[in-house]
Amino acid sequence: MNQAALHKLLASKRNIKELDELFELRLATNLTLIKDLFFSIYPTEEKAFEKLLKRMLVLFKKRPDVLKHQDIARLQSGNWYESERMMGMQLYVDHFNKDLKGLKEQLDYIEDLGINFLHLMPITTRPKGENDGGYAVNSYTAIDKRYGTKKDLYTLTQTLQKKKMFLMLDFVVNHTSDQHEWALKAKEGSKKYQDYYYTYADKTIPNAFEETLPEVFPETSPGNYTYIPEMEKWVMTVFNSYQWDLNYTNSEVFIEMLGNLVALSNMGVDIVRFDALAFLWKKMGTISQNLSEAHDIIALFRMCLQVIAPGTILLAEAIVAPADIVKYFGEGPKKGNECEVAYNASLMALLWNSIATKKTNLLYKSLTNVPSKPNDVTWINYIRCHDDIGLGLDDRFINELGWNPKGHRKFLLDYYCQRTDWSPATGMLFMYNPKTGDGRITGSAASLLGLEKGLKTKNERLIAQSVSKIIMLHGIVLSFGGIPLIYSGDEIGTLNDYSFLKDPSKKEDNRWVNRPKLDWKAVASIKDGKKASSQIYNNLKLLISIRKKNAVFADKNNLELYHTGNEHILVFERTSQKQHGLLVVCNFDESSQVIDSSWIAKLGYLKNQKYHDLIQQKTIAVNSGFIEVQPYQLLWLKKV
Ligand code: GLC
pLDDT confidence tier of residue 239, bands split at 50, 70 and 90: very high
Taken in order 598, 600, 604, 607, the sign of the CA dihedral is negative
The answer to whether the CB of 258 falls within 8 A of the CB of 302 is no
What confidence tens digit (pLDDT) does each residue in 577-602 have? 877 789 999 999 999 999 887 777 67
pLDDT confidence tier of residue 14, bands split at 50, 70 and 90: very low
What confidence tens digit (pLDDT) does each residue in 484-534 have? 999 999 999 999 999 999 999 999 999 999 999 999 999 999 988 789 999
Torsion-angle region of 420 (φ positive above 0: left; ψ -120 to 50: alpha; else: beta): beta
Ligand 1 and 387: CB distance under 6 A: yes
Strands, E assignment, 443-592: 483-487, 559-562, 569-574, 582-587
**Pocket mutation for ligand 1, best pick of 91, 135, 180 (most atoms within 8 Å of C-beta):** 135
Tell me how far apart the alpha carbons of residues 66 and 288 are, in angstroms, rounded to a whole number.
40
What confidence tens digit (pLDDT) does each residue in 149-183 have? 999 999 999 999 999 999 999 999 999 999 999 99
Taken in order 8, 14, 15, 18, the sign of the CA dihedral is positive
What confidence tens digit (pLDDT) does each residue in 443-492 have? 999 999 999 999 999 999 999 999 999 999 999 999 999 999 999 999 99
317 is catalytic: yes
Ligand 1 and 132: CB distance under 6 A: yes
pLDDT for the residue numbered 578? 76
Rounded distance from Cα 150 to ligand 1 centre (Å): 24
Rounded distance from Cα 135 to ligand 1 centre (Å): 6
Rounded distance from Cα 275 to ligand 1 centre (Å): 6
Average pLDDT over residues 114-130: 97
Tell me how far apart the alpha carbons of residues 312 and 71 are, in angstroms, rounded to a whole number.
8
Mean pLDDT rounded to a whole number for the chain: 94
Helical H segments across 268-378, by residue range: 292-308, 322-325, 345-357, 361-369
**Atom of ligand 1 at shortest distance to CA of 386?**
9
Q: What pTM was estimated for this model as a whole?
A: 0.96
Please tell me whether residue 317 adopts helix, strand or coil conformation. Answer: coil
Rounded distance from Cα 172 to ligand 1 centre (Å): 8
Of 71, 84, 317, 338, the active-site residue reads 317
Give me the percent of the chain exceeding a pLDDT of 70.
Answer: 95
Rounded distance from Cα 124 to ligand 1 centre (Å): 15
1, pLDDT greater than 50: no
555 is catalytic: no
Average pLDDT over residues 376-381: 96
Tell me how far apart the alpha carbons of residues 221 and 240 are, in angstroms, rounded to a whole number.
5
Closest residue by Cα to atom 7, ligand 1, is 276
Of 84, 170, 275, 509, the active-site residue reads 275
Phi, psi of 485 (to 5 degrees): -130, 120
Helical H segments across 480-595, by residue range: 520-524, 532-549
CA distances from 476 to 274, 490, 499, 588, 634 (A): 25, 15, 31, 12, 8
Closest residue by Cα to atom 2, ligand 1, is 275
**Atom of ligand 1 at shortest distance to CA of 511?**
9
Ligand 1 and 388: CB distance under 6 A: no
The answer to whether the CB of 245 falls within 8 A of the CB of 238 is yes
Closest residue by Cα to atom 11, ligand 1, is 276
Q: Calculate ∠ Cα 376-381-387, nearest 5°.
A: 125
